[in-house]
Chain A
Amino acid sequence: MAFFEASEGPWPALLIGVPLLAAFTAIVTWRAARLLIWSGAAVVPVLSVVLLARVIHAGGLRLPIGGWAPPLGIAFAVDGLSAGFIVVTGLVMAGVLLFALPQFTASAPGAAESRAGYAFVPLVFLAWAALNALFLSGDLFNLYVALELLTLSAVALVAIDGRSGTIAAAIRYALFGLFGSLAYLLGAALLYAVHGTLDMALIAERATADGATVIAGALMTAGLAAKTALFPFHAWLPPAHSGAPAPASAILSGLVPKASFYIIVRIWFDVMPQAAGTIMPVLLGVLGSCAIIYGSVLAIRQEQLKLVIAYSTVAQLGYLFLIFPLAGGGGEPQPWAAGAWTGGIIHAFSHALAKAAMFLCAGLFMEALGHDRIAGLRGAAHHLPLTVFAFALAGVSLMGLPPSGGFTAKYLLLTASFAGGQIGWAIVIMVGGLLAALYLFRPLTYAFTRRGLEEREFARVPRPRQVIPLLLAGLSILLGIASAAPYDILQIGRPHAAVEGLE
């Protein structure tokens, strides 16, 4: 990573500090939850955007904490990739918190006494702080700390309503997470033993394709893949994401797996591209492909909307791993085809926004109906038009139809695979898109069906709450229409390996 050494003062630390402070305040007094949500949702995204503006202005930033440069001290490192993730996190978190406002704060009847009402707000802020810390981190141990904090708050969010089913799902999630952390930590320790530092930029200078480095990379990747629910480590995801309350699922599905994926990208593209070899990228690509096909097929077979969306996450996460074999697919005559890396990241952004929107829609359907059976959605297009519209917009992005962010991502990945002569990945991407259409049009078809007279009425859902998923889904479309901006941002500090390809 080529970074400017810059003295930015303490304010990037606010991105971690403010949500952390909010989390602790919420633990101390639940009465402040409403105020905290409003101020947190207003302040942190603004801080994120300011950081992004700084990165656009100054290029990559490297911020030694307390003035001690690595290897003695530790440093934040911010480039387009991390700033982009921080902004997307900010948008999704703000949307989810505002959405959950009437559900999980003192104003809802009995909320203060229930575990969910008490714990939701602190946990979300904690996850937010962890995510920001993770994206800011410039060294492997900070990443580990942030990742642990994130996993813990995510597991707690799954178990938040205390039903036995969700607690079982949470325990399974925790076990996978624990395995992942151990493997990651082992890898990081091995790297420290060999290179004497955990700072990513320094390891990047020192690492070669020696055996220890490769083993360390493989260990860390395996651990992180388990946390990202990459096939075949995906078993924990569907019960956990479908069992949690909808706003929690939005965070769990939209943001949390992206964090561990982000570390995998950092490791292979920034820290040790020369150690990637030929097998590892292909292996990750194959597992990603399996995830796309397997996740989509299972999504088609679900009868409950939240399970469809959860299996869809398994499938959509698979696309991210195609960037390992596809990066650098361009070559001289078609330089723009080297966009697979950027395409994968844009896919992560667009999926975060669209999937959060989709889970929030599912939450609204559950509120209106009391359940989320797909067959029960009849008439939804009439009773909840805005929500159905938001669901469909998010679906457009997930199916990769233009002009959404999902389409731009798919275009970049497809172009890279054709230009690089790797047609197999293109076939997987196309088939995945068609399968997504199958599982997404099924609930939509029910929504457009006339509702029988004997069926229960829809309960009223206030309009402002319907607007939030619509905005998030709209953003995932906007990401495609205005994809020039995220593309340019992602080029700031883009690693060479993203252009040249892993080898």
Chain B
Amino acid sequence: MSALLPLTILLSSLIPAVVTFFLSERNVYLRNGLSLGGAVVKLVLLAIMLSEVARGAIYELRFDLVPGLFLLLRVDDLSLLFVTLSGFLWLLTTIYAIAYFGKSAHLTRFFGFFSLCVAATTGIALSGTLITFFLFYELLTLSTWPLVVHKGDAKSLRAGRVYLAFTMPGAAALLVAIIWLESAVGPVEFRVAAPLHDLGDWSLRAIFALFILGIGVKSALVPLHGWLPAAMAAPAPVSALLHAVAVVKAGAFGIVRIVYDVFGIGLLQQLTLGLPLAILASITIIYGSIRALQQTDIKRRLAYSTVSQVSYIVLGTALAGPFATIGGLIHLVHQGLMKITLFFCAGIFAERAQITRIDELDGIGPRMPWTALCFSIGAMGMIGIPPIAGFVSKWYLGIGALQAGQHWVIGVLTVSSLLNALYFLPLLYRIWFRTPSDAAQAAAPREYPVALIAPPVLTAIAALATGLLAGSSLSPLSWATLIVERSYLP
């Protein structure tokens, strides 16, 4: 049983993916049923595992390929944090996508690759070794590409090319790092200390740099972030997937794994690698915010905002004190909830009111109250206004920075929050307080169907609840604390 659970949870997305590919375009109900059914099954399995892992259980499944090369699926506390987030958001995004696309073409392909993406993400979360991680990391790249180019127009094809131009060399760097490391110390399992000291200090530094180069592409670290704004050409559910469910999260998660479970904090400090990573993350945070400020398109502004926000996770990881770690880990969840809300809403604005530019938002609030409200909650959370989830992240990051003796990070957090406010508040002002133009007044956008509106409402509520109830034992904060207590405290 304990070996089968990780496999089942992987199959809960893999089977819908594979079966969907063989369905005809007309089999709408079966297709939707498969995706939704898989997502529900996954959530049930997650609930079981969360309670078991909290009691100290660990699930493992090992699969040998050739000597020195084996796959290991392992459910530990950290993997559950990520897989629960992506499982929950998968369900909501599927509902949203079904409503969003309605009866448009090529949906079988879309939902097939969509489920495959989630399967890959689950695999990344459950990976117990570097090679397993690499396998699913590549699968994620390959299954996201058809989604990015889904529309098939010149813009999305260009986005697809840019995406590959960043991710393929990134993956190559990652593979070189893994094999360089493993050819010296043998197969590396997460949380099993490998004799890294067999390699020289400079080799280790180079390997670490290659890891960050390879994984930093997905987590959109500056200057490896270029693909993310370009990918905005894809439809809204894909943006949700890229920004919250799967891709950038996989990158951030990967960095957490590399820092804590491959190198370990002690070795990282000995090699003085934590500080450069923190500085890189800080640069990304500030640069992403400044670029977001310059955008006039809603989705592009949100994209640069992601570039900035995901690096909070990296920053927390790089600072490496217990509080900073907790801050980084909970931001993995919090950023996902808030950013997916924003993208859901941006998609609804675009579909129902044809609004894609920021200056078109004037006065939309009273006319599309649900969407506007959810958007506002997400935006305020990003700025860090209590009691929304984003505040909790920033609070822990701040304390963590002080604890680690890196006072300059407080400055970064302050400047970034200020910039967040600068690029989100004007949107909220336009939404609620400006009067719409005459043309916009004449159009009467409607918020329908429920399946399109419910997902952002639920994620907005979740973003509020994780902030308000951060102290409860079921919150991401408690889980992140559990991870830190178990693994990273001596």
Specify the main secondary structure of chain A where it touches its partner.
helix
Q: A434-B168, A448-B146 are in contact. Are A408 and B21 (CB under 8 A)?
A: no
A412 at the interface (CB under 8 A from B): yes
Q: A389-B21, A411-B179, A415-B183 are in contact. Are A434 and B172 (CB under 8 A)?
A: yes
Residues of B within 8 A of A336 (CB): 66-69
Q: A381-B109, A408-B69, A483-B66 are in contact. Are A415 and B135 (CB under 8 A)?
A: no
Residues of A within 8 A of B183 (CB): 334, 337, 414-415, 418-419
Residues of A within 8 A of B139 (CB): 402
B349 at the interface (CB under 8 A from A): no
B369 at the interface (CB under 8 A from A): no
Residues of chain A in range 297-347 having any CB-CB distance to chain B below 8 Å: 334-337, 339, 342
Find the B residue at minimum CB distance from A392: B142
Report whether B172 and A430 are in contact in the complex, using a CB–CB cutoff of 8 Å: yes
A403 at the interface (CB under 8 A from B): yes
Report whether B135 and A402 are in contact in the complex, using a CB–CB cutoff of 8 Å: yes
Of B156-164, B295-303, B471-479, the stretch lying at the interface with chain A is B156-164
Residues of B within 8 A of A414 (CB): 175-176, 179, 183
Residues of chain A in range 339-382 having any CB-CB distance to chain B below 8 Å: 339, 342, 381-382
Identify which of B21, B149, B186 contacts A334 (C-beta below 8 A).
B186
Report whether B146 and A408 are in contact in the complex, using a CB–CB cutoff of 8 Å: no
A204 at the interface (CB under 8 A from B): no
Report whether A484 and B66 are in contact in the complex, using a CB–CB cutoff of 8 Å: yes
Residues of chain A in range 372-408 having any CB-CB distance to chain B below 8 Å: 381-382, 385, 389, 392, 396, 401-403, 408
A274 at the interface (CB under 8 A from B): no
Total A-B residue contacts, Cβ distance less than 8 Å:
94
Shortest beta-carbon distance from B114 to chain A in Å: 15
Residues of chain B in range 179-202 having any CB-CB distance to chain A below 8 Å: 179-180, 182-184, 186
Bound together, the chains give a CA A435 to CA B134 distance in angstroms of 19
Q: A414-B179, A483-B66 are in contact. Are A437 and B160 (CB under 8 A)?
A: no
A433 at the interface (CB under 8 A from B): yes
Bound together, the chains give a CA A437 to CA B168 distance in angstroms of 8
Residues of chain A in range 23-50 having any CB-CB distance to chain B below 8 Å: none
Interface 1/0 per residue, A404-439 and B, CB below 8 Å: 000010011011001100000010001001100100
Find the B residue at minimum CB distance from A483: B65
Residues of A within 8 A of B106 (CB): 382
Residues of A within 8 A of B172 (CB): 430, 433-434
Residues of chain B in range 403-429 having any CB-CB distance to chain A below 8 Å: none
Q: A402-B135, A441-B164 are in contact. Are A448 and B149 (CB under 8 A)?
A: yes
Residues of chain A in range 64-117 having any CB-CB distance to chain B below 8 Å: none
Report whether A401 and B176 are in contact in the complex, using a CB–CB cutoff of 8 Å: no
Residues of B within 8 A of A458 (CB): none
Find the A residue at minimum CB distance from B71: A403
Shortest beta-carbon distance from A269 to chain B in Å: 19
A445 at the interface (CB under 8 A from B): yes
Identify which of A339, A342, A401, A484 contacts B142 (C-beta below 8 A).
A401
Report whether B164 and A450 are in contact in the complex, using a CB–CB cutoff of 8 Å: no
Report whether B134 and A445 are in contact in the complex, using a CB–CB cutoff of 8 Å: no
Interface 1/0 per residue, B107-138 and A, CB below 8 Å: 00100000000000000000000010011001
Q: A396-B142, A437-B168 are in contact. Are A484 and B179 (CB under 8 A)?
A: no
Bound together, the chains give a CA A381 to CA B139 distance in angstroms of 19
Q: A430-B175, A445-B160, A448-B146 are in contact. Are A415 and B182 (CB under 8 A)?
A: yes
Report whether A385 and B68 are in contact in the complex, using a CB–CB cutoff of 8 Å: no
Report whether B175 and A437 are in contact in the complex, using a CB–CB cutoff of 8 Å: no
Report whether A484 and B109 are in contact in the complex, using a CB–CB cutoff of 8 Å: no
Bound together, the chains give a CA A363 to CA B179 distance in angstroms of 37
Residues of A within 8 A of B64 (CB): 484
Bound together, the chains give a CA A411 to CA B169 distance in angstroms of 16
B153 at the interface (CB under 8 A from A): yes
Identify which of A334, A335, A415, A484 contacts B65 (C-beta below 8 A).
A484
Report whether B68 and A339 are in contact in the complex, using a CB–CB cutoff of 8 Å: yes
Find the B residue at minimum CB distance from A490: B66
Report whether A418 and B66 are in contact in the complex, using a CB–CB cutoff of 8 Å: no
A208 at the interface (CB under 8 A from B): no
B152 at the interface (CB under 8 A from A): yes
Report whether A445 and B153 are in contact in the complex, using a CB–CB cutoff of 8 Å: no
Indicate the member of B21, B67, B135, B149 with the most A CB atoms within 10 Å. B67
Report whether B66 and A448 are in contact in the complex, using a CB–CB cutoff of 8 Å: no
Report whether B68 and A337 are in contact in the complex, using a CB–CB cutoff of 8 Å: yes
A192 at the interface (CB under 8 A from B): no
Residues of chain B in range 19-44 having any CB-CB distance to chain A below 8 Å: 21
Find the B residue at minimum CB distance from A395: B142
Bound together, the chains give a CA A450 to CA B152 distance in angstroms of 5
Shortest beta-carbon distance from A420 to chain B in Å: 9
Residues of B within 8 A of A445 (CB): 149, 157, 160-161
Report whether A448 and B134 are in contact in the complex, using a CB–CB cutoff of 8 Å: no
Shortest beta-carbon distance from A500 to chain B in Å: 17
Interface 1/0 per residue, A462-480 and B, CB below 8 Å: 0000000000000000001
Find the B residue at minimum CB distance from A450: B152
Residues of A within 8 A of B138 (CB): 401-402
Residues of A within 8 A of B105 (CB): 382
Bound together, the chains give a CA A392 to CA B112 distance in angstroms of 15
Shortest beta-carbon distance from A494 to chain B in Å: 13
Bound together, the chains give a CA A87 to CA B152 distance in angstroms of 41
A144 at the interface (CB under 8 A from B): no
Report whether B69 and A403 are in contact in the complex, using a CB–CB cutoff of 8 Å: no
Report whether B168 and A339 are in contact in the complex, using a CB–CB cutoff of 8 Å: no
Find the B residue at minimum CB distance from A414: B179
Residues of A within 8 A of B161 (CB): 441, 445
Identify which of A342, A396, A433, A449 contacts B157 (C-beta below 8 A).
A449
Bound together, the chains give a CA A408 to CA B149 distance in angstroms of 29
**What are 5 residue pairs bridging A and B, where the CB atoms are less than 8 Å apart in the complex?**
A339-B68, A408-B69, A415-B179, A449-B152, A450-B151
List A residues at the B interface (Cβ < 8 Å).
Answer: 334-337, 339, 342, 381-382, 385, 389, 392, 396, 401-403, 408, 411-412, 414-415, 418-419, 426, 430, 433-434, 437, 441, 445, 448-450, 480-481, 483-484, 487
- Give 9 new A-B contacts, CB below 8 A, not counting A401-B138, A408-B65: A382-B106, A402-B135, A414-B175, A415-B183, A426-B179, A448-B160, A450-B153, A483-B65, A484-B65
Q: Nearest 6 CB-CB pairs, A to B?
A: A336-B68, A418-B183, A450-B152, A402-B135, A336-B67, A419-B183
